[in-house]
Chains A and B, each alone.
Chain A
């Protein structure tokens, strides 16, 4: 198969309720969920009815956003000329306080995505949903899926139980490096801590906006804790981060590193170099006013044509009509964002073109 069209690095099939996942669980969990009457694992990070969670013209009354494959084909895959798309299921299993319950849900979601999406639509690939609240269980889940090369990435929420550079998470990075799987960090939180360092905001809009600060926090953590010293080829993909915060962040990171780098002597390179080499970002949303040259300026400031990855973020509402790509980009850069950068980021996608 050759790739004809763009590679969408963030598309969201709507994860169903627990009842639909029960066939993929063992007896203990089937019995537990039913006997205890437990359901309702939709994440606070994406309330089902919130405007961000589904673009109005893609919303089907009575249906979960993104739950219909025919609609996904019509509204995204066909509409945007997508050759391959990476499914990033968002499930409460990723944020559950119970390690084992979280693992059971995540594993069921991975089975479900194979049967109902990957087996039904050859353009689809998926991220492995893991219980990051239990890194050792996450490793088991990754090992279980790694043989299916339609799984091209490991997906984690952007806010977990600790900063992501901490050695607690290194077993996940170890297995990711072994299989050349990037780690996708998706906007959203386990809500173990307040969404901001000033506490709990009053509005969902504020929580959502604060995601970009969270991504910045995690970059600092990953770099300062030496994750890229230990795993120099490991890539992190920041999914739904907003993008335009990046240059200002890099400049401040450079300044701080110059001032106090002796605290972390293993960080020998400028954070800017590490970020350009190891970090990728999906381009929806790209927080900039439309019909200005802001995006062009920001891309000049980022000073790398390798970092940005095409994404529709379907069915999340980030743009109107067919404006899935930022305007004002050169044909060369468009080609990189739509095809070349995703292929370089996700080695398993290349198997598809060979």
Chain B
């Protein structure tokens, strides 16, 4: 069990300096990196059929990105390989350079989006082994995310149980685009297991493409699709609350990752305003929806929105609550947020400590 651990009680060697906690680091695969963690049956299957996603291309996403590997131009390791695939370079360019005490890995490698649930289960398990062995074992400041084949809750629960006692795993990762809205009951076994094991859910933008990105269909450009990911986050927040997930699992923690956060206050006001009129449709929602947004949800900041007046961002922090905000870099992606440059307004030392470190300790258990 990953019982929550008080900051003061953690092993001293795990906390030799006051560093930043980064909730969003993207590791990449070296060629064939998953093979050693897959059975022969799945190696053969993948070689023949690939991953059967809900997309239009066999081996890439629907919307071509705007930089190679969606990455910073300077993040390509000198020794070769994709940005985020070389632990030594990641250590140098991110962890040491910014004094990152802990960094949570958020693999976006399409292992949990296969329509073939057995394939998804095999790939998720392999990807979990890969994170633990190829990253965390080499760099203990990093922590892995438990990837699960979420459309098969039984297999997901097995995978979570397998990893829950392993200090190398910090959370369960889900995507913001799912086959059904995440609050629907098919996903509840995952939430029950998360709560029982004291593991938070990291809800990262992206996921499956069962549904069009918009209620009006498919955008034409990456510039649209990229921004519309934010709307997929809003949808999952609404779903989790309106389905009563946080009434059923009151200790469940969900961290919204890579969706920005300027949308959070208005979504809360909107949910509250219309819930007040139509609450008889959702008797499972016992409190104004925005209250759950202040007790069970956290918001990772990247990509920080850029108001024309930077102080407007401080107002948003205040509306959301400083205790809900956690820092994320999105390294090595192109829209990386530098902790020293991304926030263009003044913060007190207390506010900095909350954002860059202490709030994340409420979300994650680092051992």
Binding site for B on A (CB under 8 A): 50-52, 158-166, 189, 191-206, 208-210, 212-214, 216-218, 220-221, 224-225, 242, 244-245, 247-249, 251-264, 272, 285, 287-289, 294, 297-298, 301, 303, 317
Contacts and interface: CB of A to CB of B under 8 A. Distances in A.
Interface in B298-320: 303-309, 312-313, 315-316, 319
B197 interface: no
B308 A205 contact: no
B181 interface: yes
Contact of A196 (B181, B207, B227): B181
A28 to B, nearest CB: 31
A193 B260 contact: no
Given A202-B184, A213-B231, 19 more contacts: A197-B211, A197-B232, A198-B239, A199-B180, A199-B181, A202-B181, A209-B238, A216-B230, A217-B214, A225-B221, A244-B270, A245-B270, A247-B307, A249-B263, A253-B227, A263-B221, A264-B221, A301-B312, A303-B308
Contacts of B218: 162-163
B307 A301 contact: yes
Contact of A255 (B232, B236, B306): B306
B323 interface: no
Given A212-B270, A244-B269, A197 B231 contact: yes
Given A220-B223, A255-B306, A193 B266 contact: no
A220 B229 CA distance: 12
A40 B263 CA distance: 37
A197 B216 contact: no
Contacts of B267: 209, 212, 245
Contacts of A194: 211-212, 215
B242 interface: yes
Contacts of B214: 159, 163, 193, 197, 214, 217-218, 221
B217 A216 contact: no
A205 B279 CA distance: 8
A204 B228 CA distance: 22
Interface stretch (B91-99, B101-109, B171-179): B171-179
B312 A52 contact: no
A198 B226 contact: no
Given A204-B281, A206-B181, A260-B223, A248 B316 contact: yes
Nearest to B185: A202
Leading 10 A-B pairs by shortest Cβ distance: A248-B262, A251-B305, A213-B231, A287-B270, A217-B214, A196-B235, A194-B211, A159-B216, A159-B215, A244-B266
B236 A161 contact: no
Contact of B219 (A220, A259, A260, A272): A220
A202 B221 CA distance: 30
13 contacts: A51-B280, A52-B277, A164-B216, A192-B216, A194-B215, A202-B242, A203-B242, A224-B224, A248-B266, A251-B262, A251-B307, A258-B306, A297-B315
Contacts, number: 249
B269 A254 contact: no
B89 interface: no
B274 A52 contact: yes
A217 to B, nearest CB: 4
B66 A259 contact: yes
A245 B266 contact: yes
B287 to A, nearest CB: 14
B55 to A, nearest CB: 13
A324 to B, nearest CB: 15
Contact of A165 (B220, B270, B303): B220
Contacts of A192: 216-217
B271 interface: yes
B282 interface: yes
A261 B224 CA distance: 11
Contacts of B304: 255
Given A202-B184, A248-B266, A258-B306, A52 B278 contact: yes
A256 B181 contact: no
B305 A198 contact: no
B278 A51 contact: yes
A220 B277 contact: no
B33 interface: no
A242 B270 contact: yes
Contacts of A196: 181, 211, 215, 231-232, 235, 239
A214 to B, nearest CB: 5
Contact of A160 (B183, B216, B263): B216
B271 to A, nearest CB: 6
B273 interface: yes
A34 to B, nearest CB: 34
B220 A163 contact: yes
B322 interface: no
A304 to B, nearest CB: 11
B180 A256 contact: no
A201 B216 CA distance: 16
B242 A260 contact: no
A247 B269 CA distance: 14
Given A163-B219, A204-B278, A256-B226, A294 B269 contact: yes
A198 B334 contact: no
Nearest to B269: A287
A173 B334 CA distance: 36
B333 to A, nearest CB: 11
B282 A260 contact: no
Interface string B162-201: 0000000000000011111111100000000000000000
Contacts of B275: 205
B272 interface: yes
A254 B180 CA distance: 31
A191 B212 CA distance: 12
Contacts of A221: 214, 216, 219-220, 224
A198 B220 contact: no
